[in-house]
């Protein structure tokens, strides 16, 4: 299998370059991550993140043949060769496929990603009907891989000002939670020409999310709530 990988080590390389590898696959290698592990066996200086190898930890997001995705759940058989691998676009590269995600997490933190409830906690669980709980489906499953935000042109231009699809999806996750009491403050926090309104519904985010989540829809719902509270 032929793979071409973006390589850059600031310790020794003046600038990034693409390096070709011809990988001999074993019969048990099905996913792109398996192939990357083989590359690393040949060349231990190739750096990338990985952990769970089953699409739940969010470590191995990268740009695969021009599209963001997780290596561990991308089937080799579905890829056109040579497979072109680059770091997630728009974030500073630390080395090879490893990017600096500080800005991405800053935006996530900025939406206050936790349930806020001012009532004294009851003795037992707070009640929530199955229908109310259902509202969190399609939201809470986010693995913070950043595939979406780094596919979003608005995030590329304003990573410090636009919350981005991942953060906005989570903003809506807490608005949608019946146990949270801060909807108004959460909407205030996003009422800004950049934080929310830089989204132009281009849907790149939906297209790449490996968990099949739909940030555009969540963003739409937040906008709807804002309109509703104005009238």
Does the protein bind other proteins through residue 9 (CB under 8 A)? yes
CB proximity list for 179: less than 8 A, separation 6 or greater = 115, 117, 126, 128
Q: Name which of 50 and 161 has its Cβ closer to ligand FES.
A: 50
| Contact status, residue 150 vs residue 90, Cβ threshold 8 Å | yes
β-bridge mates for residue 7, sequence order: 17
Binding other proteins by CB under 8 A: which of 143, 148, 168, 187? 143
Does the protein bind other proteins through residue 24 (CB under 8 A)? no
* Token digits of residue 133: 């709980």
Q: Looking at 55-63, 151-159, 184-192, 213-221, which segment touches other proteins (CB under 8 A)?
A: 55-63
Within positions 44 to 63, which residues make up the interface with ligand FES, using CB under 6 A? 50-53, 55-60
H or E, element range at 203: none
Contact partner, 84, from other proteins, ligand SF4, ligand FES, none, Cβ < 5-8 Å per class: none
| Contact status, residue 87 vs residue 6, Cβ threshold 8 Å | yes
H or E, element range at 17: strand 17-22
Within positions 64 to 123, which residues make up the interface with ligand FES, using CB under 6 A? 70, 72
Q: How far is the CB of 175 from ligand SF4 (least distance, A)?
A: 16
DSSP 75: B
Q: Name which of 129 and 231 has its Cβ closer to other proteins.
A: 129
């Amino acid at each position: 299998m032929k793979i071409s990988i973006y390589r850059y080590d600031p310790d020794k390389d003046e600038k990034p370059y693409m390096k070709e590898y011809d990988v001999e696959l074993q019969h048990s290698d099905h996913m792109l991550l398996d192939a990357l592990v083989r590359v690393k066996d040949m060349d231990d200086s190739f750096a990338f993140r990985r952990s769970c190898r089953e699409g739940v930890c969010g470590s191995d997001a990268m740009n695969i043949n021009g599209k963001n995705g997780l290596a561990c759940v991308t089937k080799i058989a579905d890829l056109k060769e040579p497979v072109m691998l680059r770091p997630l676009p728009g974030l500073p590269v630390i080395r090879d496929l490893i990017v600096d995600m500080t800005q991405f997490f800053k935006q996530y933190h900025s939406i206050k990603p936790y349930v806020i409830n001012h009532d004294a906690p009851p003795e037992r669980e707070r009640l929530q009907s199955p229908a109310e709980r259902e509202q969190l489906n399609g939201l809470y499953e986010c693995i913070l891989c950043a595939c979406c935000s780094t596919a979003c042109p608005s995030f590329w231009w304003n990573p410090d000002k636009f919350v981005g699809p991942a953060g906005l999806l989570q903003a809506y996750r807490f608005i949608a939670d019946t146990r949270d009491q801060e909807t108004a403050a959460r909407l205030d926090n996003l009422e800004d020409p950049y934080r929310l309104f830089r989204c132009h519904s281009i849907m790149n985010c939906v297209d790449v999310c490996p968990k099949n989540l739909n940030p555009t829809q969540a963003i739409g719902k937040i906008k709807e709530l804002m309109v509703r509270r104005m009238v």
